[in-house]
Amino acid sequence: MDIRPMIDHRRVRLLNARQDGTGPVIYWMSRDQRFRHNWALLFACRKANELQRPIEVLFTLAPSFLGAPFRHYDFMFRGLREVEGRLRESGIPLTVLTGEPDKTISAYASGLNAGAVVTDFSPLRLVRSWKSSAAASLSCAFYEVDAHNIVPCWIASPRQEFAARTIRPKLNALLDTFLTAFPYPEVACQPDTLNQPVVNWDILADTVKADRSVRPVKHLNPGEKAAEERLRKFLDQTLHRYAKERNDPNSGCVSALSPYLHFGQVSAQHIALEVSTSPVPEENRAAFIEELFIRKELADNYCFYNSRYDSFDGLPDWSKSSLMAHAEDHRDFNYTVGQFERAETHDPLWNAAQISLVETGMIHGYMRMYWAKKILEWSANPGTAFDIALWLNDRYAIDGRDPNGYTGIAWSIGGVHDRPWFERPVYGKIRYMNDSGCARKFDVGRYIESAHKT
Ligand SMILES: Cc1cc2nc3c(=O)[nH]c(=O)nc-3n(C[C@H](O)[C@H](O)[C@H](O)COP(=O)(O)OP(=O)(O)OC[C@H]3O[C@@H](n4cnc5c(N)ncnc54)[C@H](O)[C@@H]3O)c2cc1C
């Protein structure tokens, strides 16, 4: 199949001023760790076919990645093992190189006299700094493909958006042109046999430097196959209740796809296509697309255009000044990071959310807001609260270190994408939440009980 017309050129950016060379094409896989429904891999295949060269996939393993503990490496390696198998079935080798990614990719590409290097897109600072350094040192063309968002982040908007209401019309106006079906990755010039040895994932897992006290999650199987099974289950069993019940943590009607989306083991565009043809009532499809498409792509927009996305300083002026005006207010409770981490607060509901985070790597989306807002209420000051919430989320949440997480914390604690509310102690003009609000929405006792069974 000729896939050329199906890759929208707006999805691709050239990151340096070099020409395509004549060697093999390298797909430097980073955020989008999957074989199917991956525009970056598809573009790399197209480039290889155009240049009549083979393609190979490279994964660079940094000495550490934003403090990720072993829980995250375990999920990622098991997913990558599956990707390697699927690539091999198509004759494409996958190589893992350890070291500083920008240096390893440049050395590897120059050793092969690469025809082109293609990578996927992430708005996170560290990944962008690796890419700018690689762009300067690579001697062949270096392309970036947004394979994560339905509408490429740089096309959706040229600036940081204020709120969902400002980005929604922009995204919706572009949805039809970008929400297209995926072709199957086809390669024309692979060698008949793969000489490359298979990656020893067990050795990599044994040698990676990561905090092993945060144990792997047992209840989730990583990988593309598991993601597809979860998506099918969600479409068949729960999407029809999503609009009315998604804010009830006991209902089990959310998709729980965020770990797979975070590691790129499933494509948001593929999910959106499946949801859009589901026979469930429209209100459920619309409510889900609002989260998967509008809120998720708004989060990428926030991180892409605000380099201080993971810091209190990055918050809007109105919320920073309001929070700081209340920084000295009396707090009924003032917990340390250790007390929060060990779920030692006075509030059984908050403790239940924290236990769920530590034990399962997940907190229900509604409870995540309550969890973060109470950290604001019970910390010494708003800057400390921001740092504690971020640290706990990134350490334990299996979908942590994600634009959605940085934005979710900035929303809960710092009013990002929200508006000023009535002024009150500690919160200033930040939207308030309390346990009686939760009790009006769901059976709090049941939630607490189930967290303790995890
Ligand atoms: C304090 C706080 C921390 C958060 N940390 C993370 C995080 O580390 N990683 C993460 O992926 N999400 C995070 N979120 C966003 C959201 O809570 C999760 O995406 C959601 O709980 C994931 O569960 P699900 O897949 O069952 O969601 P569903 O309700 O089934 O939604 C489907 C998908 O839509 C997207 N989505 C849903 N809600 C949001 C949202 N509010 N903002 C952006 N995208 C959304 C996610 O990709 C999600 O997987 C956080 C939110 C808050 C308030």
pLDDT above 70: residue 1:
no
Region 349-371 average pLDDT = 97
The secondary structure element, H or E, covering residue 451 is: helix 444-452
Q: How far is the CA of 24 from the centre of ligand 1 (A)?
A: 38
Report the nearest-CA residue for atom 26 of ligand 1.
Answer: 256
pLDDT above 90: residue 2:
no
Q: Which domains does the chain have, with CATH numbers?
A: 4-148 (3.40.50.620), 312-452 (1.10.579.10)
Report the nearest-CA residue for atom 23 of ligand 1.
Answer: 256
Q: How far is the CA of 404 from the centre of ligand 1 (A)?
A: 6
pLDDT in tens, 124-143: 999 999 999 999 999 999 99
Q: Mutate which of 291, 295, 387, 401 to test ligand 1's pocket (most atoms within 8 Å of Cβ)?
A: 291
Q: Can you give the pLDDT at residue 454? A: 76
Residue 78: strand, helix, or coil: helix
Report the nearest-CA residue for atom 35 of ligand 1.
Answer: 292
Atom of ligand 1 nearest to the CA of 234: 30
- pLDDT-above-90 percentage for the chain: 93
Q: How far is the CA of 50 from the centre of ligand 1 (A)?
A: 39
Give the distance between the most distant pair of CA atoms in the chain: 71
**390 touches ligand 1 (CB under 6 Å):** no
pLDDT in tens, 166-190: 999 999 999 999 999 999 999 999 9
Q: Mutate which of 258, 288, 290 to test ligand 1's pocket (most atoms within 8 Å of Cβ)?
A: 258
Nearest to 404 by CA among 158, 123, 147, 151: 123
Report the nearest-CA residue for atom 19 of ligand 1.
Answer: 258
**54 touches ligand 1 (CB under 6 Å):** no
Q: 285 and 276 in contact (C-beta within 8 Å)?
A: yes
- The torsion of the CA quartet 257, 253, 151, 418, rounded to 10 degrees, works out to -110
Classify each residue of 145-182 as buried b or exposed e, where b means 16 or more C-beta atoms within 10 Å of its C-beta: bbbbbbbbbbbbbeebbeeeeebbebbeebbeebeeeb
Report the nearest-CA residue for atom 38 of ligand 1.
Answer: 291
Q: 58 and 25 in contact (C-beta within 8 Å)?
A: no
**261 touches ligand 1 (CB under 6 Å):** yes
pLDDT in tens, 26-62: 999 999 999 999 999 999 999 999 999 999 999 999 8
pLDDT in tens, 222-279: 999 999 999 999 999 999 999 999 999 999 999 999 999 999 999 999 999 999 999 9
pLDDT in tens, 69-127: 999 999 999 999 999 999 999 999 999 999 999 999 999 999 999 999 999 999 999 99
Report the nearest-CA residue for atom 13 of ligand 1.
Answer: 405
Confidence category of residue 5, pLDDT binned at 50, 70, 90: low
Q: What are phi and psi of 13, to 5 degrees?
A: -125, 140
Confidence category of residue 22, pLDDT binned at 50, 70, 90: confident
pTM over 0.75: yes
